[in-house]
Amino acid sequence: MNPLEQRLKYKFRNPLLLAEALTHPSLGHETQRHHFDNQRLEFLGDAVLQLIFTEWLFDHFPNSCEGQLTKMRSCLVSREGLKMHAERLDLGKHLMMGRGEEASGGRERISALSDAYEALIGAIYLDSDYVTTRRIVLTEARDDLENLELDPPDQNPKGRLQELLQSISPVSPTYPIIDAQGPEHLKNFVARVVWNGLELGEGAGRSKKEAETAAARIALEKKLWESAGCCESQQLPNNSLKSANDAA
């Protein structure tokens, strides 16, 4: 296995596909010779990535509308997003490109890296199958998937809950993860929202952020801080201040 295959934890059966995915078009342009390059694989990889992320988002966000799903997918397959995937794999140093392109910073250029990542996914897809490619993509993108914005700002349960609670006390709620089960690419997390020593709700999800959001949504429904008398206790400083003013 070469270093890139070791990072991917995948061994190519056809090494020529990997070589094609790593060949920048500038190599052929500079040598004036016919070389294969990664443009066709880039075209294929773009479609494969779109399908993988579309399927994952569709399964994990059953209550999200088309617009929200499209926005999240756009973040995942944007050039900046794909460049980040390529940088995690140190893809730039494995590219074969013309000397002029390399001298002008081609190994760090966003277009070269994002295109190469798409081509690499296309190559893995042709060399294996959809299930294998999906596993590799989702494993590599796990952190990005966990950090997706689940809701627009005006429908964000965590933001709404924090706003309500901080109107009572400056203490912010916390979201400890209390359980995590399943294989790495299909884990199910359970989060609990805790505030001022009160357990306000628990929620589950396929990512930590999804579980935290579910817990906040449950907390907003239950409003346990009201039955615990937190709202009334917050009035005490104001009453005490009024008494002091009256006495003065």
The CATH number linked to 92 is 1.10.1520.10
Give me 78's structure tokens. 């944007």
Same domain, 59 and 179: no
Task: Give the whole-number percent of the chain exceeding pLDDT 90.
Answer: 41
Same domain, 19 and 139: yes
- Give yes or no for residue 156 having a pLDDT over 80: no
Q: In whole angstroms, give the CA distance from residue 83 to residue 77.
A: 9
Spell out the residues 6+ positions from residue 179 whose beta carbon is closer than 8 angstroms to its own: 189, 190
Domain membership flag for residue 246: no
The confidence score (pLDDT) of residue 97 equals: 83
CB 72 within 8 A of CB 60: no
**Residue of 20, 37, 42, 46 marked catalytic:** 46
Q: In whole angstroms, give the CA distance from residue 116 to residue 109.
A: 11
Average pLDDT for residues 211-235, to the nearest whole number?
77
Q: Is 189 exposed, middle or buried (0-12, 13-18, 19+ CB in 10 A)?
A: buried
The confidence score (pLDDT) of residue 101 equals: 79
Verify whether residue 246 is a known catalytic residue: no
| DSSP per-residue string spanning 22-88 | TB-THHHHHHTS----SHHHHHHHHHHHHHHHHHHHHHH-TT--HHHHHHHHHHHHSHHHHHHHHHH
**Residue of 42, 102, 115, 118 marked catalytic:** 118
Q: In whole angstroms, give the CA distance from residue 55 to residue 196.
A: 39
The confidence score (pLDDT) of residue 192 equals: 95
Give the domain-ending residue among 146, 167, 184.
146
Give the domain-ending residue among 100, 117, 146.
146
Q: What is the DSSP letter of 170?
A: S
pLDDT averaged over every residue in the chain: 83
Domain extent, residue 52, equals 3-146
Verify whether residue 146 is a known catalytic residue: no
When pLDDT is cut at 50, 70 and 90, the band that residue 46 belongs to is very high
CB 209 within 8 A of CB 150: yes
The confidence score (pLDDT) of residue 243 equals: 35
Quick one: angle between helices 208-222 and 157-166, nearest 10? 50
Name the nearest CA neighbour of 89 among 118, 61, 62, 66.
Answer: 118
Q: Specify the 3-state DSSP secondary structure of 129.
A: coil
Most confident of 32-46, 114-128, 163-177: 114-128
CB 182 within 8 A of CB 205: no
